[in-house]
Amino acid sequence: MDKLNRELIVNVTLVSAVMTLLLAWIGTAASANNSSDTSIADEGALVFIIYTLILYIYHGLLSIVNYLIGRWIERLALRLAVFHIAGLLLLAAVWYLIRDTGLFAAYASIIAFSIVAVVSHGKKANS
């Protein structure tokens, strides 16, 4: 299995799961704190599940985009630059639809996927 396939598997399973749970927890806490409606605060588990489902789909798509860009572009620096631009455009498009500035916390996922790519690339150079 080549490094891009391993990177995709790590991104889809481990990194996506961790970032999804982290961002869903942050989003649930923020919505409970910002809401004057007590029913939202009482239904925190439901909000967490909804955030988790949406964010895992987002992270899966982000992983596939990262993989496809890696197949298309060999140089790591150029690949990461294109990936960050694509991720920012995706976030900007979603922000345009829902107008929630808290959405930009999801940029941390793009950074996490980039760290995995750098570590994976470094392992290949050392092997």
Strand ranges in 35-122 using DSSP code E only, listed in sequence order: none
- Write the Ramachandran bin of 37: left for phi over 0, alpha for psi from -120 to 50, otherwise beta: beta
Structure tokens at 68: 């496809």
Out of 33-37, 59-63, 92-96, least confident range: 33-37
Instruction: Identify which of 21, 26, 4, 16 has the alpha carbon closest to the alpha carbon of residue 109.
Output: 16
Cα 75 to Cα 19: distance, rounded to the nearest angstrom: 26
Model confidence band, residue 41 (pLDDT cutoffs 50, 70, 90)? low
User: Is the confidence at residue 42, as pLDDT, over 80?
Assistant: no
Burial call 5-21: b when 16+ CB within 10 Å, e when fewer: eebbebbbeebbeebbe
Average pLDDT over residues 29-57: 75
Domain containing 54: what range? 3-126
Full-model pTM: 0.81
Average pLDDT over residues 81-105: 83
- Number of domain units in the chain: 1
